[in-house]
Chains A and B, each alone.
Chain A
């Protein structure tokens, strides 16, 4: 589901969709014979990374990536319809994900909004996955309260010098670039003293240390900066404008960008299908879980919500149907879909009964233990990019204009 307007597509777009579908079917790589990460949040080994990088390159070289980036910066020229179609068809085919997510969806749009001509040229290698991006926002003492971050960038004659400690840094171990939020002025209010940088990771004084998640998987890191240098041209936007630029990134990260809600909704229905199939093959008390009214009730509820999320993503683009709260449905997208995903995975774990106790590498683990693993990994989405609790504060204060909580 998810494509509410598929039937309305012009002949030209329908042709593009068919061609894309055929291309994906023909070129989608076979399972590599080793465990693939469930999302970009847990890319661990070199072979996992290389497999995913090669896939993104293949998609780019086929001319399918970059319909949200102008041609002069390595894209295909901005064409939201084609962009949407490509994303939908990749989801539909359950093709491997595009590993340079932080670049494609967060850093890229931010650079397009604030970057110099020179900076915008970084988008080509980003699209082709020649250069991977990571995000340096969170710190050990600055999670939900991001603006209190302490990593500092001090101005030097020829650029900046960074010292500090970033954490939960997905993909840092393979990244060429980091979008970095650092304090450039400690003497002003916390929101005014930040600047936003495009930081080159292969720099002396940078140390990337892997962190291990609750699943035992790697994929994210902490990054230590000890007087690491970057050039003047690393600054994105103005000095002191960092918070504003970072909010643009977070807006994209939380799925408020045009189209991304719709893509996410399509992915949710894909998950729902897998849940239904799990119910059909799982047994409980001598009968199929698919016959158990209590499980059925909860699956049906998730379906109704998934369909509503899909049409909500479409409605986000119709101003006349958002008159009460113009930004409401865009800002709630991340909160609602990440919590839905968590409930789905938890329900799947319940369906497994005692078999939920079988973990990765156990030959009898149903679906290679993807459900308990998915449930654990779902917290990456309800915590990362601003916890659900912070999302509720943001929606309460910016959309419903309730008094601030602090």
Chain B
């Protein structure tokens, strides 16, 4: 019988965490930026404004979006030569966390993923052409990622590009703020090669049909490309699509962490204040203990989201795995936090007046996006068990 202590199977190297600095690279600069972001979002994404925008036709405030561009947030992690500020991924994770707390209704996530796509796959000339106008807020870019047959495996993409004419055909679903977008970043296949393509909105061959999103702070559309003109992102050193998606998973996980923190705060405050049977309900262990479990799950997810961000700087190849884990942990904890969040608010939790339902809906949306927990655990299991 094999000895389970034997280390000849390479498991140690596989299970090893990414190499990141012990302080995650956190500096005073990060602290200041976070304070600035918190202040801005307090004003521009108060729950009153979120509630108003939830019923609004567009679903985000263009004036706020313009200010976000002016603050340099769109180009936060983009290289300086393309108009960005060149900050590290930890900056971005901390900013997403703040946005998640406030449920900022904004195209930010879709735009950042689109921009990251251009930066990871485009040529130098393409980046110079497209990035500056996206970063300045002049053009709104978004990603057109999922398809009617849902899959987060890049190789399953059905949308096709004809090899001779670069006409792009296919249906993309859940495209963030697709109605307002000027530019779509689209994974598509030419033969058996899957790559990233740019498609301009406004063409006759691009049909945008608004969807009704479960999360009113995240508007989406179905975008149907019927032989649309496209531009292949053709950088020579383009990264694999999986690495690009991993960045998206890390961003989304960080945003979810912020939203879990807010859900925890709402639920904690209600339990500490609400009285039944002559005592605060938070004194009942049946109420207190699940709130503690939310906190524990949250803190693990937060560490992992921050570690994933730091891992993208470390470049030891372990960042995508760390990001998968972050998305997995954030998905499960966000689900638990919002389920308990509604339940522990009692009858009030079931009403539109209670803020928790906005987080509940964000959780539904975020969990299914960029791979749910099951999807990522399936991949993690393959890393553990299916190596050579």
Residues of A within 8 A of B (CB): 1-2, 4-8, 94, 269, 272-274, 276-281, 290-291, 293, 296-297, 299-301, 303-312, 314-315, 317-318, 320-321, 324-325, 328-329, 332, 335-336, 366-367, 389, 392-393, 395-397, 399-405
Contacts and interface: CB of A to CB of B under 8 A. Distances in A.
A280 B285 contact: no
B240 to A, nearest CB: 21
Contacts of B301: 308
B328 interface: yes
A318 B24 contact: yes
A402 B304 CA distance: 26
Given A2-B17, A277-B11, A389 B285 contact: yes
Nearest to A2: B17
A399 to B, nearest CB: 7
B384 A303 contact: yes
A293 B386 CA distance: 12
B12 interface: yes
Contact of B384 (A276, A367, A401): A276
Given A4-B19, A389-B289, A299 B384 contact: yes
Contacts, number: 188
A402 B271 CA distance: 7
A328 B295 contact: yes
Nearest to A397: B288
Given A1-B16, A274-B5, A297-B374, A311 B22 contact: no
B295 A8 contact: no
Contacts of A325: 295, 299
B20 interface: yes
B288 A321 contact: no
B190 interface: no
A293 B24 contact: no
A336 B299 CA distance: 11
A8 B304 contact: no
Interface in B1-52: 1-2, 4-7, 9, 11-12, 15-24, 26, 30-31
A392 B9 contact: no
Interface string B369-387: 0000010111011001100
Contacts of B179: none
Given A308-B325, A405-B288, 6 more contacts: A5-B21, A277-B4, A307-B325, A402-B268, A404-B283, A405-B283
B284 interface: yes
B261 interface: yes
Contact of A311 (B17, B282, B293): B17
Contacts of A392: 285, 288-289, 292-293
Contact of B11 (A273, A305, A315): A273
A130 B295 CA distance: 42
A274 B385 CA distance: 13
Contacts of A299: 381, 384-385
A364 B290 CA distance: 42
Nearest to A306: B15
Which of B271, B280, B303, B329 is the most central at the interface, judged by chain A CB atoms within 10 Å of its CB? Answer: B303
Contacts of B17: 1-2, 4, 307, 310-311
Interface in B350-384: 374, 376-378, 380-381, 384
B3 to A, nearest CB: 8
Given A389-B285, A402-B291, A308 B19 contact: no
Interface residues of B, number: 60
B381 A296 contact: yes
Given A273-B15, A403-B283, A312 B299 contact: yes
B212 interface: no
Given A2-B17, A328-B295, A402-B288, A318 B26 contact: yes
A279 B381 CA distance: 12
A395 B292 contact: yes
7 contacts: A4-B19, A318-B26, A329-B299, A392-B292, A397-B288, A399-B295, A405-B284
A2 to B, nearest CB: 7
Shortest Cβ-Cβ A-B pairs, 9 listed: A5-B22, A296-B381, A300-B380, A300-B377, A308-B300, A304-B325, A402-B282, A312-B303, A311-B307
Contacts of A311: 17, 20, 303-304, 306-307
B272 interface: yes
B71 interface: no
Interface string B93-132: 0000000000000000000000000000000000000000
Interface of B: 1-2, 4-7, 9, 11-12, 15-24, 26, 30-31, 261, 268, 271-272, 279-280, 282-285, 288-289, 291-293, 295-296, 299-304, 306-307, 322, 324-325, 328-329, 374, 376-378, 380-381, 384-385
Contacts of B292: 332, 392, 395-396, 400
Contacts of B289: 389, 392, 396
B24 A321 contact: yes
Contacts of B18: 4
A291 B22 CA distance: 36
B17 to A, nearest CB: 4
B24 A314 contact: yes
Given A276-B384, A393-B288, A403-B282, A305 B300 contact: yes
Contacts of B322: 307
A304 B328 contact: yes
Contacts of A314: 22, 24, 303
Nearest to B13: A1
A279 B322 CA distance: 23
B367 to A, nearest CB: 15
A389 B279 CA distance: 20
A138 to B, nearest CB: 21
A87 to B, nearest CB: 15
Which of A274, A291, A321, A395 is the most central at the interface, judged by chain B CB atoms within 10 Å of its CB? Answer: A321
A296 B272 CA distance: 40
A304 B385 contact: no
Nearest to B19: A7
B1 A308 contact: no
B23 A318 contact: yes
Contacts of A94: 5
A293 B15 contact: no
Contacts of A291: 385
A403 B281 CA distance: 8
Contacts of A405: 283-285, 288
A321 B26 contact: yes
A329 B18 CA distance: 20
Nearest to A84: B22
A252 to B, nearest CB: 20
Given A310-B17, A317-B22, A324 B261 contact: yes
B5 A396 contact: no
A402 to B, nearest CB: 4
